[in-house]
Amino acid sequence: MTSAAGSALPRFDVAVIGAGIMGCASAFRLAERGLRVVVLERESAPATGSTGRSAAGVRLQFSDETNIALSASSLREYRDLPEAAYRPIGYLFLVPPDQWDAHCAAVPLQRRLGAAVQVLSPREAARIVPIDAAGLAGATWCAQDGVVDPHGICLHYANRARALGASLRFNAGVTAIERRPGGWRISAGEHSLLADRVVNAAGAWSGQVAALAGLSVPVDAARRVVFASAPLPAALMRATPYPLTVDLGSGFYFRSENQRLIFGQSNPADSGFSEGIDWPWLDTVVASALDRFPWFDQVSLDRRACWWGYYEVTPDHNAIIGIDPDEPAWINACGFSGHGVQQAAAVGRQVACLAMDEPTEIDLASLSISRFRQDGAPRMTRERLIV
C-alpha cells in the first residue's frame, strides 16, 4: 500500500502496542492464526514494564465469573508450559467478619469453575500459616493457586510469535496513531507503518496510547511496592513454602520466595506515575504484618531486594478487553489492575478471536469498555477480590 505522502509503508494486519505479557501472548496467538503481526515496544526488550515487576501470583479465587474463567484457562496453559515454572504453593485468604458472607458466596461459583476451594475456620487456617486469629471469621484456601515465572512466559510468547513470522520491534515507542481508510498509520521511533487493526497492550500507558488515536480508555498507573526480607532465620524456615497469604482486613500479603519472604500492601493513596520505592509506606505495611503475624518481628528487611512497579488500574480495578465499540479497528487488552499475569494466556487467545471477528471462548461482556462509557453511573464489575 502507498501512504498519502506517496512513500510505500509496510502494512500489517495487526499492530500490537507493548511487549509485556499481554502484547506477547496476543502476538503469538494472532500470528498462529496466520495474521501479519508487528509488535511495537518502547523499551529495548520484552517484559520490562509491569510484567517484569509483578509478584507472579496466579489464583482461581476471584468472585467474578469472567475473572475466574480467564485465570482457570490461563492456569491450564501455564501448567503445561515449562517456561511458566508453575508452583502450586496455594493462596490463603484470611477474612474478617464484615467480609465473610460475601467472600463465601463466591465459593460455589469457584468450585463450579474447577477451583478446589476449601472454607476453613481460623484454627484450620493457623495450621497452614501461624496467625493471630483475633477478629477473623475464617479463611479460604485453594491449593491450585500459586506462582509462575512472568519473564519466562513473556519471553516464550515473544519467541513463539517471532518464529511464526511476527515482527518484534524494540526501541519503538509509539508517538502518533492516525486513522486512515481501512486502518491506522502508526509512527514509532524510526518506524512508520500501516495496520488494519491495533491491539492496545501498553499496560499502565494504555490510556496515553489510546489518546494518541483520539480514544478515551480509562487506564492509569498506580505504584505498588514489593518488599523483600533477608533469608529467613532457622526458626522460621519450613519444609513447604509459605503460601501467598492475604489478610483481607488490611490488604497485607506475603509469600515465600526461595529462602526469603516477599510482602506488601497496596497504598490506596498512591496513584499516577510516581517512581521509586515508597519507604514511608513500609511502616504501615509492617504494622499490618505484626498485627496478624506476630512472628514477623523475626523477619528482617533486605532493602536492596525490594522493588516497585505499576499496577495498570481502571476505575473498578478490572481489565478492559474487547473491540472498542466506537472504533472497530481498535482492540483493548489492558487495565488488568494487578492480576494480568495470571490472565494473559487466555487473553491472548481471546484477542485472536476478536481480531478474526469470531466469538470469544470466554464471555467478556463484563470487561467491555462500555461499562465506563454508558450514561449515568458506570456499571462496575462484581469482582471483590482485588489485592
Ligand X SMILES: Cc1cc2nc3c(=O)[nH]c(=O)nc-3n(C[C@H](O)[C@H](O)[C@H](O)COP(=O)(O)OP(=O)(O)OC[C@H]3O[C@@H](n4cnc5c(N)ncnc54)[C@H](O)[C@@H]3O)c2cc1C
- Closer to ligand X at the Cβ: 106 or 341? 341
Helix (H) or strand (E) holding 23: helix 21-32
| Chain positions contacting ligand X, by CB under 6 A | 17-23, 40-43, 48-51, 53-57, 173-174, 201-205, 209, 224, 226, 309-312, 334, 336, 338-342
Query: Please, what sign has the CA dihedral across residues 209, 215, 216, 218?
Result: negative
Least spacing, CB of residue 43 vs ligand X, in Å: 5
Residue 104 corresponds to which amino acid?
Answer: C
Cβ-contact 194, 186 below 8 angstroms:
yes
**Strand extents, DSSP E, the chain:** 11-17, 37-40, 57-58, 91-95, 117-120, 138-142, 146-147, 167-169, 174-180, 183-188, 191-200, 220-228, 244-247, 252-257, 260-264, 307-313, 320-324, 327-334
Cα torsion 169, 170, 173, 178 to 10°: value is 0
CA-CA distance, 65 to 79, in Å (whole number)?
A: 21
Torsions phi, psi of 77, nearest 5? Answer: -70, -45
Least spacing, CB of residue 283 vs ligand X, in Å: 19
Quick one: cell of 47? Answer: 517484559
Strands 11-17 vs 37-40: parallel, antiparallel or unpaired? parallel
- Closer to ligand X at the Cβ: 222 or 286? 222
| Other C-beta atoms lying within 10 Å of the C-beta of residue 378 | 14
CA-CA distance, 123 to 134, in Å (whole number)?
A: 11
Cβ-contact 162, 141 below 8 angstroms:
no
Least spacing, CB of residue 280 vs ligand X, in Å: 17
CA-CA distance, 225 to 240, in Å (whole number)?
A: 25
- Closer to ligand X at the Cβ: 69 or 137? 69
- Closer to ligand X at the Cβ: 137 or 212? 212
- Closer to ligand X at the Cβ: 132 or 327? 327
- Closer to ligand X at the Cβ: 20 or 249? 20
Cβ-contact 109, 65 below 8 angstroms:
yes
Least spacing, CB of residue 223 vs ligand X, in Å: 8
Got the DSSP string for 236-256?
A: G--SSPPPEEEETTTTEEEEE
Quick one: cell of 37? Answer: 503481526
- Closer to ligand X at the Cβ: 35 or 226? 226
Least spacing, CB of residue 18 vs ligand X, in Å: 3
Got the DSSP string for 373-387?
A: HSSSS----------
Least spacing, CB of residue 250 vs ligand X, in Å: 17
- Closer to ligand X at the Cβ: 85 or 126? 85
- Closer to ligand X at the Cβ: 48 or 99? 48
Least spacing, CB of residue 32 vs ligand X, in Å: 18
Least spacing, CB of residue 161 vs ligand X, in Å: 13
Quick one: cell of 14? Answer: 495487526
